Amino acid sequence: METIYNAGSGQAAEFMSDREIRDTMAYAKAHKADRELITSILAKARECRGLDHREAAVLLEQDEPDLREEMFRLARDIKERFYGNRIVMFAPLYLSNYCVNGCVYCPYHARNRSIRRRKLTQEEIRREVIALQDMGHKRLALETGEDPLHNPIEYVLESIQTIYGIKHRNGAIRRVNVNIAATTVENYRRLKEAGIGTYILFQETYNRTNYEMLHPTGPKSDYAYHTEAMDRAMEGGIDDVGIGVLFGLETYRYDFIGLLMHAEHLEARFGVGPHTISVPRLCPADDIDTDDFKNCVPDEVFYKIVAVLRIAVPYTGMIVSTRETPACRRKVLELGVSQLSGGSRTSVGGYVQEEKPDENSAQFDVSDRRTLDEVVAWLLDLGYLPSFCTACYREGRTGDRFMSLVKRGKIADCCLPNALLTLKEYLNDYASPSTRALGEQMILKWLEAVPRERVRENVSRFLAAIDEGRRDFRF
Ligand code: SF4
Ligand code: SF4
């Protein structure tokens, strides 16, 4: 018997109904030229309260130059309103590439014998984290393959403790986000107790049939268990979760709708949508040839996906990684992306020692190979304010508390001052002289934009205190 779509259900078959996704695709195609409907959707979107998956799917169908331009303009306006010119910086940290799964698009899959397997010891993690701190990073995303023998939850918990405990010169990792395999409520509770920021898990694709083909072996092959992981994470007390698909595995229309239905499901069931959405695209890697995948997403479509997501979920941060080229990153920053990785290494141990070409332990090829300092200088040059802020999680502003501040437009009162203070720390401790000069000008300019006089005065005081050697001020 066919299941009925129910956004508030705890079962993947109901909240991620294949029928609802296909009906939405058909609805969007049928209304592609319905100017009256499109105008009303754009008018609703302008109120910045988001769109549902059907409305967003209609926008995604639009290719007429005037409509496309209007959507892009709206995406830029919404981004400006909620995120200003701030871009939050982070770096991935690969702990282990042992994996028992058989994901056909990932070089870590268990049957790949040509990749060098490696798992960092706690001492090696220390060295990687010091290297990251010396670049200026404050926010990490931990990554591991799924392997109960090599990478049990105890290993992840111990690693988090190690990372938070490292204080090297003025460096500190202040927020550890975690991207590990779907697990139990009890393990999510333990991750929460260990002080993680966001729990990130990519769905890869929401199409069950395709998912099962792409994940032929290992625990990840259980579609329902994987798709319901965020529900268990929330039951375990983690209220900031990050979702994403790997665009290119399935038709982009299907997974775009799935992403929004997942967000709606979390909102319906737990009262809080995802904290972030990541938009990785399939790219080449060891043992993986993108020619094998017929759904690879071209740049023009990718830009439209980012713009319509920005319009549909204005309150959700959007992340792009170094899989993308600098030119593409520049474009998606304009259209909606609010978090960026910089200076990333996607190999295990890669921050201490970049791997030699024949060693091959990276998960994917990096297209943006610039150092963090180069990325920061580039952002400043483009008029953005790179931010190393981690304040919300440390001030207990998570889950629905965070979302209610965002929805009331209040979070920007914290974001701008924190961006200025954390950028100042970065400039004083890690930047090259030319980046520092650029950044100091930017801070002076944007200090004027802090709306409340008392806050502005405090920011000025804290900036002076940073020059005197003090650190870690936050709003
Ligand atoms: Fe393992 Fe994750 Fe790669 Fe799949 S995508 S093979 S689970 S590391
Ligand atoms: Fe993010 Fe909160 Fe910092 Fe703003 S204040 S940048 S929302 S952590």
| Any domain includes 10 | no
Domain count, the chain: 1
Find the residues whose C-beta lies inside 6 A of ligand 2: 88, 387, 389-392, 411, 414-415, 418
Strand residue runs (E) in 147-296: 175-179, 199-200, 241-244, 276-278
Atom of ligand 1 nearest to the CA of 145: 8
* pLDDT the model gives residue 409: 82
**CA pair distance 93, 263, nearest whole angstrom:** 26
pLDDT at position 141 over 80: yes
C-alpha 211/C-alpha 208 separation (Å) is: 5
Three-state SS string across 109-122, please?
CCCCCCCCCCECCH
Considering only CA atoms, which residue is closest to atom 6 of ligand 1? 109
241 closest CA partner among 192, 184, 169, 171: 192
With CA atoms as reference, report the closest residue to 425 among 382, 386, 472, 371.
472
Q: How far apart are CA 86 and CA 412, in angstroms?
A: 10
Contacts of residue 393, defined as CB under 8 A and 6 or more positions apart, other chains included, come to: 175, 197, 240
In a domain, 72, yes or no: yes
Q: How far is the CA of 373 from the centre of ligand 2 (A)?
A: 21
Q: Whose CA is nearest to atom 8 of ligand 1?
A: 145
- The model's confidence at residue 360, banded by pLDDT at 50, 70 and 90, is low
What distances in angstroms separate CA 114 from CA 93, 107, 117, 189, 197, one per listed residue? Answer: 22, 9, 9, 36, 34
CA of 338 to the centre of ligand 2 (A): 11
Is residue 475 situated within a structural domain? no
pLDDT digits (tens, 9 = 90+) for 405-450: 988 888 988 999 999 999 999 999 999 999 999 999 999 999 999 9
Domain that holds residue 197: 1-5+15-468
Rounded (10°) angle between helices 326-335 and 299-312: 30
The ligand with the least distance to the CA atom of 406 is 2
pLDDT tier at 284 (50, 70, 90 boundaries)? low
The mean predicted confidence, pLDDT, of the chain is: 95
CATH of the domain at 415: 3.20.20.70
* pLDDT value, residue 1: 64
Which 3 state secondary structure label does DSSP give 162? Answer: helix
CA of 306 to the centre of ligand 1 (A): 24
Residue 474 lies in a domain: no
Which numbered ligand comes closest to the C-alpha of 203? 1
Residue 317, phi then psi, degrees to nearest 5: -60, 150
Q: Is residue 23 part of a domain?
A: yes
Residue 144 lies in a domain: yes
Neighbours of 101 (CB within 10 A): 20
- Identify residue 440 by its one-letter amino acid code: E
In a domain, 473, yes or no: no
* 204 Cα: distance to centroid of ligand 1 (angstroms): 10
Cα of 145 vs centre of ligand 1, distance in Å, is: 5
Look up the pTM and report it: 0.96
Instruction: Go through the chain and tell me how many residues it has.
Output: 475
**Is 203 inside a domain boundary?**
yes
- Rounded Cα distance, 311 and 149, in Å: 43
pLDDT, tens digit (0-9, with 9 covering 90-100), for 97-115:
999 999 999 999 999 999 9
The ligand with the least distance to the CA atom of 147 is 1
Q: Which ligand is nearest to the CA of 418?
A: 2
Measured between alpha carbons, how far is 174 from 418 in angstroms, rounded to an integer?
Answer: 13
| Residue of 54, 50, 23 whose CA lies nearest to 38 | 54
